[in-house]
């Protein structure tokens, strides 16, 4: 047998695999003997069917089976021996005809195309410059955070009449075109947050209401979106989208959040008793907390954007022609050329990131230990339970983390997280990163762009 290699371009090669009779005949004969041993035909005992009849019935399929197996072995052997970094799997050549006579088997030659992964240079040079955006902790941000802490630790009261920041607790009843209760219509116990009502006319109608008051409202104007409206009325989002007409809202309670005063009691509730003792210390502590919080947000946004921007900067070539053919040939469901073209850009972007990750991992000999996995699992579990106000002691956290890692799917997912983190950490050291302070609104737009 013989395998010859021809270069098609920088990232594609063609392999011609020639199999002579001495390569495949012994394997074909062994396979036919296995069939003969188990064959049952009328007029013959099991295992005694003449080989000529076995060849007539199974010869073509056995030959094809053994040739395919030999081809697979030779292709894989050639890839390993020549240390070829291939993408996907070998596929039949598009422009070369295979040769061989299936009726009178002799030498067969098959042609395959392979796509190669590009070799990446991790020495990016001085032009690889990236910006890390961070929210500026200014007086406005500090005051907004103080107000949020005041509200968070405030108390709920029951005023006689509603004001612009109150919450109305009551019931909705759907009305018909004559503003009468619609028989079989929607009814729901829910709330209206006056603070969220943007329509001025609607908000004015909701001010000064007492328990027992009734008002007709457009439900679209007292909710933020269809998702909010569906929760408010206990219906699906599709139903919420199609709802027209007015609803009668009957006020049962008026609720008002009275913000906590900025005093020692608030300091103690936020930071612990006696840790902060005056207004200046309190705002300094708030400023430091905001700086840390904004820094974590900045890092999250930067890392997501950095990967995309770096890959764009590197201009990583791929064997596009090969990959598109490979996708079309190997997809479980048949794809049209238009579908391949539509899906390919996102596939190529993901593949470039995989190649870059693999290149970095090999360059730094990246290893993920069992200790790394357990620590990351503990961090994830701890953060998840903390969201629900359920802190865990160390022993419980360790046991839950180990149970999570017993799930192979979860173990792989956590390992992928660690690999990506370590790869990005390394890539950050290879480029120049400058920091730029931006406003809260500007940062919000950057964050929305990478979600």
The whole-angstrom separation of Cα 277 and Cα 288 is: 16
Residue 285: predicted pLDDT? 96
Query: Length of the chain in residues, anyone?
Result: 451
Domain boundaries, the chain: 2-116, 155-258, 269-450
CB 203 within 8 A of CB 194: yes
Residues forming beta bridges with residue 131, ordered by sequence position? 434
Q: How far is CA 257 from CA 101, 264, 267, in A?
A: 87, 20, 19
> Comparing C-alpha atoms, which of 132, 119, 126 is closest to residue 356?
119
Token couple for 433? 């990163």
Cβ atoms of 116 and 13 closer than 8 Å? yes
Quickly list DSSP for 152-219: HT-EEE--SS--TT-EEEEEEEEB-TTSSBPTT--EEEEEEEGGG---HHHHHHTTT--TT-EEEE-G
In 3D space, the residue among 164, 165, 183 whose CA is nearest the CA of residue 174 turns out to be: 183
pLDDT, tens digit, 9 for 90 and up, residues 278-312: 999 999 999 999 999 999 999 999 999 999 999 99
Q: Which residues of 77-96 are buried (b: 16+ CB within 10 A; e: fewer)?
A: ebbeeeeeeebbebbebeee
Given 3-state DSSP classes, what are the helix, strand and coil percentages for the chain, each rounded to the nearest 5? 50, 20, 30
Return the CATH architecture of domain 155-258.
Answer: Roll (3.10)
Three-state secondary structure call for residue 223:
coil
For residue 339, what pLDDT is reported?
94
Instruction: Count Cα neighbours of 28 within 13 Å in the Cβ-side half-sphere.
Output: 22
Task: Give me the residue label for tokens 């969220």.
Answer: 196
Residue 216 pairs in a beta bridge with 248
User: Which one, of 379, 420, 434, lies nearest residue 401 by Cα?
Assistant: 379
pLDDT at 384: 85
443 vs 447: CA distance, rounded Å? 6
Q: Tens of pLDDT along 127-184?
A: 899 999 999 999 999 999 999 999 999 999 999 999 999 999 999 999 998 999 999 9
Contact between residue 122 and residue 363 where contact means Cβ atoms under 8 Å apart: yes
Assess contact for 256 and 173: CB atoms under 8 A. Answer: no
Give the CATH fold of the 269-450 domain. Trigger factor, domain 2 (1.10.3120)
Region 2-116: CATH code: 3.30.70.1050
Which residues in the chain come in under a pLDDT of 50? none
Cβ-based neighbour number of residue 294 at 10 Å: 18
Helices (H) and strands (E) in the chain — how many of each?
Answer: 14, 11
Pull the structure tokens for residue 127.
Answer: 């032009």
Residue in the structure block whose two tokens are 């983390």? 401
Q: What is the pLDDT of residue 310?
A: 95
């Amino acid at each position: 047998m013989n395998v010859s290699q021809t270069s098609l371009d920088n990232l594609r090669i063609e392999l011609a695999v020639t199999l002579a009779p001495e390569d495949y005949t012994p394997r074909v004969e062994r396979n036919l003997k296995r069939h003969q041993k188990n064959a049952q035909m009328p007029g013959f005992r099991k295992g005694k069917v003449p080989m000529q009849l076995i060849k007539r019935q199974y010869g073509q399929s056995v030959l094809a089976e053994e040739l395919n197996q030999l081809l697979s072995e030779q292709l894989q052997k050639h890839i390993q021996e020549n240390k070829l970094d291939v993408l996907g799997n070998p596929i039949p050549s598009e422009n070369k005809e295979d040769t061989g006579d299936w009726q009178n088997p002799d030498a067969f030659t098959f042609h395959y195309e392979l796509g190669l992964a590009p070799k990446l240079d991790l020495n990016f040079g001085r032009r690889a410059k990236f910006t890390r955006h961070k929210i500026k902790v200014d007086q406005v941000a500090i005051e907004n955070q103080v107000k949020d802490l005041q509200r968070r630790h405030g108390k709920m009261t029951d005023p006689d009449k509603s004001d612009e920041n109150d919450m109305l607790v009551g019931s909705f009843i759907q009305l018909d075109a004559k503003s009468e209760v619609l028989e079989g219509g929607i009814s729901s116990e829910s709330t209206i947050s006056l603070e969220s009502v943007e329509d001025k006319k609607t908000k004015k109608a909701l001010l000064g209401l007492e328990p027992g008051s009734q008002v007709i409202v457009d439900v679209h104007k007292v909710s933020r979106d269809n998702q909010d409206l569906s929760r408010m009325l206990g219906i699906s989002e599709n139903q919420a989208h199609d709802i027209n007409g007015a609803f009668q809202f009957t006020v049962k309670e008026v609720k008002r959040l009275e913000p906590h005063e900025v005093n020692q009691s608030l300091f103690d509730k936020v930071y612990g008793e006696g840790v902060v003792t005056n207004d200046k210390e309190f705002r300094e502590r708030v400023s430091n907390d905001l700086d840390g919080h904004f820094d974590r947000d900045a890092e999250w946004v930067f890392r997501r954007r950095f990967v995309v921007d770096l890959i764009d900067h590197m201009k990583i070539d791929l064997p596009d022609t090969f990959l598109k053919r490979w996708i079309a040939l190997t997809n479980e469901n048949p794809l049209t050329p238009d579908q391949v073209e539509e899906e390919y850009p996102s596939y190529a972007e993901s593949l470039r990131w995989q190649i870059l990750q693999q290149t970095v991992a090999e360059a730094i000999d990246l290893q993920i230990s069992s200790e790394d996995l357990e620590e990351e699992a503990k961090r994830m579990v701890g953060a998840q339970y903390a969201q629900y106000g359920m802190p865990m002691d160390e022993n419980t956290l360790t046991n839950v983390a180990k149970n999570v890692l017993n799930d192979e799917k979860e173990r792989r997912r956590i390992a992928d997280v660690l690999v990506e983190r370590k790869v990005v950490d390394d890539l950050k050291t290879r480029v120049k990163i400058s920091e730029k302070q931006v406003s809260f609104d500007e940062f919000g737009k950057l964050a929305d762009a990478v979600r």
